[in-house]
Amino acid sequence: MGMYVNPGNAGFAGILAGEYVDKTGLIALVNAVIGTPNKLVCSTRPRRFGKTFAAESLVAYYTRGADSRSLFEGLEISRDPSFGEHLNAYNVVRLDMTGFRGANDVAAAVTERLVEDMRRELPGTPLRTGAIELALSDFVAVTGRRFVFVIDEWDAPLRERRTRASQEDWVYFLRLLFKNATFTADAVAACYMTGILPIVRYGTQSALSDFDEYTALAPDDYAPYVGFTEAEVEWLAEQHRIDMEELRRWYDGYELPYWDKDADERRVVHAYAPYSVMRACRRRRVGSYWVSSEAFAALRAYIDLDFDGLQQAVVQALGGAGVRVDTHSFENSIHDVASRDDALTLLCHLGYLCYDAATGTACVPNEEVRAELRQAVAQSRHTEVARIVRGSDALLRATWDMDEEAVAEALARAHDDGCAPTFYNDEQALRAVVKSAYIAAADHYATVEELPSGRGLADVVYLPKRGDPAPALVVELKWDRSPEAAIAQVRDRDYPAVLRDFGGPVLLVGVTYERKSKRHVCRIEEA
């Protein structure tokens, strides 16, 4: 067995030796398209979402020359009618593209290693080497088995190479294999590619248009296999005796819609990053296990450039608000980010934001990502943005301490720093300032706007997260009115009524903006 051609099943066997959450139902999805016009699949998702585990299960299942039946017995795929038909029935090419980082010419390096592996498996058999597809065709002819390609991190060469020429070289290599009418039809049974970014586009045209794509924005049938589901995390929480609510608070937030064919209805999967959940379970401690990627390092340069108010959008998302994003213009390249929408779309693919297609908005999904994103923005070269992020902790403490003057000064700085609408015209603009300034509140609170309470709607209510000792905050906003009037409205309309069963302290915060003096004024009282 080779390293790249028919590599065997040792990789998946090693995974099974640990604590494995059964995701082999994915194999049935690939089985269903083998030999069909839909046999080319590209499934992309953020880092730490189980791409490599999925790739190893596919390699072990399909690779010729290995006996993998015992590995899959009792797993989900073993109960599928297609199980025996495709088990160990194909030649497999397994490529982990992160392993080619040191190669100056990725396509040439891949070609060389594939040919070496094929020659070792068929010693003495002549293979044409004028082009990779010729050598692969000869291998199929001799073995009588077509290829299943499993390409992990397909976009790694694109993320690491900044020139358009180097991107096109790698994409052209893939086109030779999968957009070649004769070779693709005769020699390729299926291809499953993983990565972070969808297939690169040049303008509106996909570079590999024959692939069916399933992305972090639209995973469709593959949604149940993007990370762990909530039921799987609940099982792990029980096994490791860790609080499920804490796991949910730290790692939930990616809501992926798909059509459940069995139930004949649309459902939503709550996807969790396996890497983070498993570490939290093994250590019995939630926390940030997210590791910054080279992709986000590149993106941070665009955040510093502040495309069309990008920084304001990121700060608002950190404060708990959804931000509108048009995902259609992005060309799926880290190095071709040309607008605010491109940058926000890239954040969605990287997992720093979760996209809601129904509303066209994106938000920060959970505590772990918020901590990582907040730290990155706080280190921004854009001093105004960094200052407001760093100052948010002080603002929250001042609110808890009922230091009205400090709160008013902090809100004024948030306005002046440009992380909210430059020109006020109503209380909606004032609300944007408050939410931007209170970024740190997202660490302790769930934010609810216009919460029905008593005889009206409270402007913004910060509800402490489970187990957090922070006081609840009821914030009322007024324009050219006194803060006392704001507090009076809260009491008159009985806004705190919804919090009567809360069981902890409640602070009433009245914030006003005086148009003539351009002053923010604050009053804070205990409910």
pLDDT confidence of residue 494: 66
DSSP state of 504: S
Which candidate, 173, 145, 167, places its Cα nearest to that of 6?
145
76: tokens are 């989900």
Is there a single domain that holds both residue 391 and residue 521? yes
Which candidate, 40, 323, 48, places its Cα nearest to that of 177?
40
Q: Residue 288: is its pLDDT beyond 70?
A: yes
| 376 and 292 Cβ atoms separated by less than 8 Å | yes
55: tokens are 């790739």
- Give the separation between CA 397 and CA 394, rounded to whole angstroms: 5
DSSP state of 199: P
Residue 220 lies in a domain: no
Is there a single domain that holds both residue 39 and residue 152? yes
- Residues 6+ away with beta carbon under 8 Å from 193: 41, 42, 43, 149, 151, 152, 154, 211
Q: What are the phi and psi torsion angles at 30 (to 5°)? A: -70, -40
Count of domains forming the chain: 4
Domain that holds residue 414: 383-526
What mean pLDDT, rounded, does the chain reach? 85
Query: Collapsing DSSP states into helix, strand and coil, what is residue 519?
Result: strand
Q: What is the mean pLDDT of residues 79-83?
A: 96
- Residues 6+ away with beta carbon under 8 Å from 107: 169, 170, 172, 173
pLDDT confidence of residue 454: 44
pLDDT confidence of residue 424: 55
- Give the separation between CA 469 and CA 453, rounded to whole angstroms: 22
Domain boundary at 254, 283, 312, which?
A: 283
Residue 219 lies in a domain: no
Largest Cα–Cα distance of the chain, in whole Å? 91
pLDDT in tens, 432-489: 777 777 777 777 887 766 554 444 455 678 888 777 888 988 888 887 788 788 788 7
Is there a single domain that holds both residue 397 and residue 372? no
pLDDT in tens, 33-62: 999 999 999 999 998 899 999 999 999 999
- Give the separation between CA 229 and CA 108, rounded to whole angstroms: 39
pLDDT confidence of residue 294: 59
Is there a single domain that holds both residue 204 and residue 64? yes
Angle between helical axes of 310-318 and 383-400 (0-180°, round to 10): 20
Query: Collapsing DSSP states into helix, strand and coil, what is residue 284?
Result: coil
Domain boundary at 378, 399, 429, which?
A: 378
Which candidate, 110, 141, 113, 108, places its Cα nearest to that of 125?
141
Is there a single domain that holds both residue 389 and residue 374? no
Q: What is the mean pLDDT of residues 74-82?
A: 96
382: tokens are 């854009």
pLDDT confidence of residue 133: 93
Is there a single domain that holds both residue 89 and residue 122? yes
Residue 288 lies in a domain: no
100: tokens are 């080619």
Which candidate, 113, 141, 145, places its Cα nearest to that of 127?
141
Name the percent of the chain lying above pLDDT 90. Answer: 46
Residue 103 lies in a domain: yes
- Residues 6+ away with beta carbon under 8 Å from 54: 23, 26, 43, 194, 225
| 364 and 290 Cβ atoms separated by less than 8 Å | no
Is there a single domain that holds both residue 444 and residue 308? no
Residue 5 lies in a domain: no
pLDDT confidence of residue 310: 81
Can you count the helices (H) and strands (E) in the chain? 21, 17
192: tokens are 């499953």
- Give the separation between CA 35 and CA 148, rounded to whole angstroms: 10
DSSP H or E run through 483: helix 483-492
Q: Residue 295: is its pLDDT beyond 70?
A: no
pLDDT in tens, 405-416: 999 888 887 777
Q: How far is CA 12 from the centre of its chain?
A: 25
Query: Collapsing DSSP states into helix, strand and coil, what is residue 337?
Result: coil
262 or 424: which leads in pLDDT: 262
Is there a single domain that holds both residue 188 and residue 67? yes
Residue 4 lies in a domain: no
Q: Residue 425: is its pLDDT beyond 60?
A: no
Distances, alpha carbon 323 to alpha carbons 369, 427, 506, in Å: 16, 18, 29
DSSP state of 92: E
pLDDT band at 143 (very low <50, low <70, confident <90, very high): very high
- Residues 6+ away with beta carbon under 8 Å from 325: 341, 344, 345, 348, 353, 355, 360, 361, 362
Which candidate, 57, 47, 50, 48, places its Cα nearest to that of 14?
57
Residue 167 lies in a domain: yes
Q: Could you give the angle at the alpha carbon of 481 between the alpha carbons of 478 and 484, nearest 5°? A: 90
Q: Which amino acid is at 182?
A: T
Is there a single domain that holds both residue 181 and residue 37? yes
Is there a single domain that holds both residue 327 and residue 270? no
- Give the separation between CA 41 and CA 202, rounded to whole angstroms: 19
Ramachandran area for residue 230 (φ above 0: left; ψ -120 to 50: alpha; else beta): alpha
DSSP state of 523: E
The alpha carbons of the chain give a radius of gyration, in whole angstroms, of 27
Is there a single domain that holds both residue 315 and residue 272? no
Which candidate, 496, 500, 523, places its Cα nearest to that of 510?
523
Q: How many CB atoms lie within 10 A of CB 107?
A: 19
Domain boundary at 190, 214, 238, which?
A: 214
Is there a single domain that holds both residue 78 and residue 122? yes
141: tokens are 């002819």
CATH value at residue 415: 3.40.1350
Q: Residue 508: is its pLDDT beyond 80?
A: yes
Helices in 149-308 by DSSP H: which ranges? 156-160, 164-178, 181-187, 230-240, 244-251, 274-283, 294-305
Helices in 334-479 by DSSP H: which ranges? 340-350, 367-378, 383-400, 404-416, 427-437
Supply the pTM of this predicted model: 0.81
Residue 289 lies in a domain: no
